[in-house]
A and B are shown apart, each in its own frame.
Chain A
């Protein structure tokens, strides 16, 4: 049966009233948990898992998938409006998104984020549909050495995404990696820097730290300023929609972000986060106005938002094509399917073609629903900004405090929130960029884990990273990029007749 025919049947099924209802429920819940700081798709899915007993597995799949990619849409809302990342995947969106809000372009930012997310959702559905089995085989070729090279290159890219001093950002990356060592050793489980507190052996959780560094620090920042700057007085319709120029500049980032995000989503671990800042770094590199990044460049919103949505779609591929969950939310989708007596595996598509195609159809319909949900709500969201600062700031603080406790019911998390808030406030005032810090906390443990696993595989020999072709190729990327930069710089300078020492 041809793909088109299968797709038509899938759409037909997905448009049935019950399936539509589940899709709508899923995406609405997903958007909600994405917007609310603290609780995320993982929490929502865990809570709902017990309701999947007795549900048909197709319905559970549609519901949970909707929650997952819906949360990617919702996560950007608070990042853009309040500099509060709802999810780890929306941290990068804070950088330029909040700046756009401060310039009065909040509506445009939200609009572009929603449009980009929709474009990415479409790309990932296409990818899932057409390339699932061969891409799954490709994903399998990546092992610990390859993951190590990817995450290390990722760490090296991090200082580059900030607009300030590269040295200061490098310092933040180091600090982030140091913080990430608190807790259990990823291999042996030995306690590191926990000072005997059992709750600390979990490590410093990303969510409280990000909410502290961005949300609470911003609260403190606003409090420290005497004047009421940053309040949007009135929002006219013209300001809510993106200008033609902004739309034009977003098309490229959206396409590139979607493709990059989808491929990165195939890799286990924090794929969506990596996708978001990879896209940011790429857009900054390709832009004709790189100095705008960090001050409200629309590409800095369009690219990462598309990338994280595409990565969410890509994350389904290993589950559907191999039956293996590569990220914790996928493990919950797997659990829901298991409860419905379906065991996804390499033969899932052949054994349950109806479920697969209905899922594909429903994913696309879900993305349309999200677009229709989010676009009209842009006006509503932006009007949140009209709240006087003296009411908005305490509400944000309370949301952060309760949201953080809601995740794990752990008082350590609240301490982390408050301490990172204070720390973040001080660091920002000194000109340190916080995004590299928090992203390094996510990547750091992975770098260590994959390095050690690779050495287990090679019995201690470092040669393993260059003996394997994919791993070697990834390691060479920064070398190639650096060489190209230097070469380009020299040719430009020699054409201009001057010779200057190349900047990094």
Chain B
């Protein structure tokens, strides 16, 4: 009798030991995230990216879509490249991620020497996109885009169009307009959206390329109006504004979006977990309401489809910039 119970005891001990080891093994594999994650936003806190990033992280925290804490750190500078470079030069362990607009990822590496390119990162998810629209003051004499384009044809190189800066998506949208219509505009780059809109309101430029969020207050007050959309589909915020594509011009549209990134070489389960957390956040009603406030369209693209989308956008940007004689760096 004693020997049998001792046997049973030994078997139980071995079984328990195996169970512990197996559980530990599973725990090791699924032990991301073990601590808080830092989300780096390479723009100032009050910027559009800053506010949206803050909102999403807030939603994730409130609904516990992510098992650990997420905190935002703002690292503005050099049009978003400094903060992004820091993230992408770190470890791909998933504890430091970047939330950025697409320009520093897609466009800047083409024209500046940077320690990263669109190929040396792991995209997780695209959360939002901003369509680009051409606006004019309410009192402007052109009621339709056709009138505007006819006027521009008669005065080539004279009509001033403001954008938020060189090598921003607004600038690329203007280049698309130029290439598609064959008309020369006079590009006036400003430092950001606010001076762009101010200049338009003050009559210092005759038209501006903006995203809806830049002018929503002015639109509701009736001070400016949308005249065309430089995309392939109409914007939800300007359903009556025709797109250039509809009018018969061949434009590919822009890709002004927010993308979450990790350095290259992240583990698949890290990517999955992060992707799930952000996806759940952008599916909430809270987020959808908020998007309407800031003028963004839904623009979800998963990590599986993002590399192709990014490559296509880079190709288009290269084509546009080379078309005006800019030297493009090779993106390996």
Contact = CB atoms under 8 A, between A and B. Distances in A.
A453 B74 contact: no
Chain B interface main SS type: mixed
Contacts of A188: 166-167
B54 A49 contact: yes
Interface stretch (A293-301, A325-333, A430-438): A325-333
Contacts of A459: 157-158, 186
Contacts of A184: 78-79
A50 interface: yes
Given A189-B112, A331-B44, A142 B160 contact: no
B188 A347 contact: no
B199 A339 contact: no
A346 B217 contact: yes
A324 B77 contact: no
Contacts of A325: 46, 194
A338 B55 CA distance: 11
Nearest to B294: A338
A494 B240 CA distance: 74
A341 to B, nearest CB: 6
A30 B198 CA distance: 28
B78 A457 contact: no
B188 A457 contact: yes
A419 interface: no
B157 to A, nearest CB: 7
Interface stretch (A77-85, A124-132, A167-175, A196-204): A196-204
Contacts of B320: none
A456 interface: yes
Nearest to B108: A189
Given A46-B46, A191-B112, A339-B51, A144 B198 contact: no
Contacts of A202: 77-78, 82
B90 interface: no
A39 to B, nearest CB: 14
A252 interface: no
A220 interface: no
B189 A453 contact: yes
A323 B58 CA distance: 25
B273 interface: no
Contacts of A187: 165-166, 189
Kindly list the 3 A-B residue pairs having the minimum CB-CB distance in the complex, ordered from nearest.
A345-B217, A143-B204, A46-B45
Interface of A: 45-46, 49-50, 53, 140-144, 184, 186-191, 196, 198-199, 201-202, 268, 318, 322-326, 328, 331-335, 338-339, 341, 343-348, 408-409, 449, 453, 456-457, 459
Given A188-B166, A344-B217, 17 more contacts: A46-B44, A143-B204, A189-B79, A189-B108, A198-B114, A268-B198, A318-B198, A324-B197, A324-B198, A324-B201, A328-B46, A335-B45, A343-B293, A345-B216, A347-B217, A348-B217, A457-B204
